[in-house]
Amino acid sequence: MSESTERSRSKIEEAKDKVIGAIAETMDLYGVTPAAANLYATMYFKDQMTLDEMRTELEMSKPSMSTSVRKLQEIEMVKKTFTRGSRKHTYVAEKNFFRSFMVFYCQMWEREVKTNMEAIEEAQEDFIDVIKDSTSTPEIVAEAKKYYDQLEESKTYYHWLDDLVTSIRSGKIFEFIPKDSQE
């Protein structure tokens, strides 16, 4: 290999390392461990990798690597692929950051909406019971009404968040915020 080619290869590796470092550093936003973040960032520049290749390249223990791969699969940052003629599973990193963002945050926001709306509905039923209870004092009724109204107002946020998820999943959000808005 010529000195020029070697220098170019070295520069390519340095550039990749910069991006790998940045991706790994910011993956905490997706709720993954530093090991999983490093794994995803490394896989980002690979076409596909087997579990053995991952373990060798990242010098991870088998349990840590398996846990990391599973977590990345759960949030759809990594997919298991099939290679004809091979008995080993290969894995591919999701390279479309829009898709990664959409899948991950929509899952989280849907969970937030579902969990909190269920709790709000149940709590509001309890507040109504207190309000309708003839033995409740005026102070207790006022407190129950206050909290009922507070929860009613919070529903606006959860409906909006649900609409946001719908607009992201349908792609409609890109009508308002285009993917290529830098031009």
The pLDDT of residue 84 is above 90: no
Whether residue 132 is predicted with pLDDT greater than 60 in this model: the reply is yes
Domain that holds residue 60: 3-95
Give residue 15's pLDDT band: very low, low, confident or very high (50, 70, 90): very high
Residue 90 shares a structural domain with residue 103: no
What is the average pLDDT across 8-28? 92
The domain boundary residue, chosen from 95, 120, 143 = 95
Q: Which of 48, 46, 50, 51 is nearest to 23 (CA)?
A: 46
Q: Tell me: pLDDT of 88 over 70.
A: yes
Mean pLDDT of the chain: 92
Question: What proportion of the chain, given as a percentage, has pLDDT over 70?
Answer: 98
Q: Are residues 17 and 89 in the same domain?
A: yes
**54 lies in the same domain as 17:** yes
Determine the average pLDDT of the residues in 9-17. 93
**pLDDT higher than threshold 80 for residue 71:** yes
Residues 116, 80 within the same domain: no
Which long-range CB contacts under 8 A does 122-126 form with residues at least 24 apart?
Answer: 123/147, 123/151, 124/148, 124/151, 124/152
Q: Are residues 108 and 90 in the same domain?
A: no
pLDDT for 89 equals: 87
Any domain includes 154:
yes
Tokens 């308002």 — which residue?
176
pLDDT above 90 covers a percentage of the chain that reads 75
**Do 38 and 58 touch, CB atoms closer than 8 A?**
yes
* Domain stops at, among 68, 95, 122: 95
Together in a domain, 74 and 103: no
Provide the domain count of the chain.
2
CATH code, 49: 1.10.10.10
Are 16 and 91 in a shared domain? yes
Is pLDDT above 70 for 147?
Answer: yes
Q: What is the pLDDT of residue 82?
A: 83
65 found inside a domain: yes
Instruction: Say whether both 66 and 9 belong to one domain.
Output: yes
Same domain, 73 and 46: yes
Q: Containing H/E element for 147?
A: helix 138-170
Residue range 22-47: mean pLDDT, rounded: 90
For the segment 101-124, what is each residue's pLDDT rounded down to a tens digit? 999 999 999 999 999 999 999 999
- What are residue 79's DSSP bridge partners? 92
Domain end, chosen from 29, 64, 95, is at 95
**Cβ 172 vs Cβ 164: under 8 Å:** no
Answer yes or no: is 182 within a domain: no
Whether residue 183 lies inside any domain: the answer is no
pLDDT in the model for residue 85: 80
Strand-pair partners of 92: 79
b/e per residue, 19-57, with b = 16+ CB within 10 A? ebeebbeebeebebeebbbbbbbbbbbeeebebebbbee
Q: How confident is the model at residue 181, as a pLDDT?
A: 57
